Chains A and B, each alone.
Chain A
Amino acid sequence: MSVFHYYVVAAILFSIGAGGFLLRRNLLVMFMSVELMLNAANLCLVAASSSFDLARGSSFALVSIAVAAAEVGVGLAIIIAWFRLRPSVDAGDLQELRG
């Protein structure tokens, strides 16, 4: 397998994630799409790291997994706090900051 095959899979995963983020209005599903994009980026990092024979890319992927875990914790807490205010997870209802 050449590294390019992995890049193609990562590109497809990233695009599906980006499409889900743009198409869906459910906050939780949008959040899952962000996770898909993060996974695609990680896959790219690991593939590049093993094609260049360096452990650095894999280490960056590990840091990125840690950041993703932190992001999910804070993001879901924000969704819960928002849900207390307005019982809806539709992104179209997030208009509090509109003047």
Chain B
Amino acid sequence: MDPELATTIAFYVFALLAIAGSVGVVANKNPVASAMCLVATFVAVAGLYLTLSATFLAAVQILVYAGAIMVLFLFVIMLLNLSHETFEGISVRRTMGGAIAFAFIFISIGLLWGTGPKPGEAMSVRPGTGLEIGRTFLKDYVFPFEMASLLLLVAMIGAIVLARRPKLVGGDR
């Protein structure tokens, strides 16, 4: 099969899967089902990265999002015993929120219209490989790279402190 055609088919399959999964996240009453739809969305976005030939990011997306972040989400859902159905009904204010979000699709497409290379122009296929990203990080962006690791350390300590039992912290509750 023609590789161009294969990329196009893969794009549409993954795009539809991502959109369907994200609708599932928002529309599901059960938080566990929402989390499962979120996994499908993450995998689909990783597939979109692959069609952009960003292979390293696709692998990181699967490892970090579908692996670590989703396990954390499911852990919390199970720990707090929230797997029962919760849906809050529809009010006027929430309907307005939905309408704003729906309008935002068209606003953002309008803003992006005509940006970047002309539509129909073939996309180049180089960046996003591990080699290029490693070169960028270790040559031009060493400091932000170190900052990211510091941020992860701070977040780890912060999460431990926050989720500790209040009586160990010395709170009065």
Contact = CB atoms under 8 A, between A and B. Distances in A.
Interface string B108-137: 110011011111110111111000110111
B104 A15 contact: yes
Given A46-B49, A59-B136, A29 B25 contact: yes
A26 B88 CA distance: 8
Nearest to A14: B108
B92 interface: no
A88 to B, nearest CB: 10
A66 B97 CA distance: 29
B135 to A, nearest CB: 7
A4 B11 CA distance: 12
Contacts, number: 252
A36 B52 contact: no
A7 B116 contact: yes
Contact of A48 (B116, B152, B154): B116
A23 interface: yes
A10 B167 CA distance: 44
Given A59-B137, A65-B60, A69-B64, A2 B119 contact: yes
23 contacts: A2-B116, A7-B115, A9-B18, A16-B22, A18-B101, A22-B98, A23-B94, A23-B101, A26-B82, A26-B86, A36-B41, A39-B42, A43-B45, A46-B52, A49-B54, A50-B125, A50-B126, A58-B54, A58-B57, A63-B144, A65-B64, A68-B64, A73-B159
Closest 5 CB pairs of A and B: A22-B97, A19-B101, A70-B155, A20-B26, A55-B132
